[in-house]
Amino acid sequence: MTRLSHVLTIPERIKPTYIDKNKLLTVKLHLKGVAKNDNTETLSIGATNYYIRKKSQFIYGKQNLFNGAFAIIPDELDGYLSSGDVPSLDVDETKINPLYLMYYLGREYIYKQIEKLAIGSGSKRVHESTLLNLEIPLSTIEEQSYIVKPLYTLDRKITIEEKMLSCLLKEKAYFLREMFI
């Protein structure tokens, strides 16, 4: 067993000189990833501190880690911003494959248990120090890659099949609309 503090570290917190609402991140629930936040029209920046996030960092929602709100920041979101309630951690890729980390933590019975570690009276949060104290089984980087490869291949196939299903559903809807004209 290895503590996450051996493979993840808290990066330097760099504040942007200007907060661009078009460069804010959101971490979706139920392992749906990280994305540009499109609901910023009514957002008031106020006293909230935002920090620059980097590609390949592990990012999570403090209030929703135990609801599957975590991801690895993709290349296209490098340099985007999130608040202190959506922290990111540097991943030491010489010790852990980021996908291995995601697949391990991404099992519902694992991330649901993390709620027991959340603190707070109103809205419970999982702070970085708490997350870094978690222990996970960790094999060599080669073995991790061996484990990840078939899972990642299946994920890519599922994504392709979901896109095909979406196209077929649109085609069906078109035929149904046109059928009774």
Q: Which letter does DSSP use for residue 4 in this model?
A: G
Mean pLDDT, rounded, for 37-64: 85
How confident is the model at residue 179, as a pLDDT?
87
The predicted model scores a pTM of 0.84
Residue found by looking up tokens 């222990």 in the block: 135
How confident is the model at residue 43, as a pLDDT?
66
Distances (CA, A) of 36 to 13, 15, 25, 148: 20, 18, 5, 26
Q: Please report which confidence band the pLDDT of residue 21 belongs to, taking 50, 70 and 90 as the band edges.
A: confident
- What are the extents of the domains in the chain? 2-138, 140-181
Number of H helices, E strands in the chain: 4, 10
As to burial, measured by CB atoms within 10 angstroms (0-12 exposed, 13-18 middle, 19+ buried), residue 139 is middle
124: its two tokens: 């419970």
CATH superfamily entry for domain 2-138: DNA methylase specificity domains (3.90.220.20)
114: its two tokens: 């993390």
How confident is the model at residue 159, as a pLDDT?
93
The mean of the pLDDT values for the chain is 92
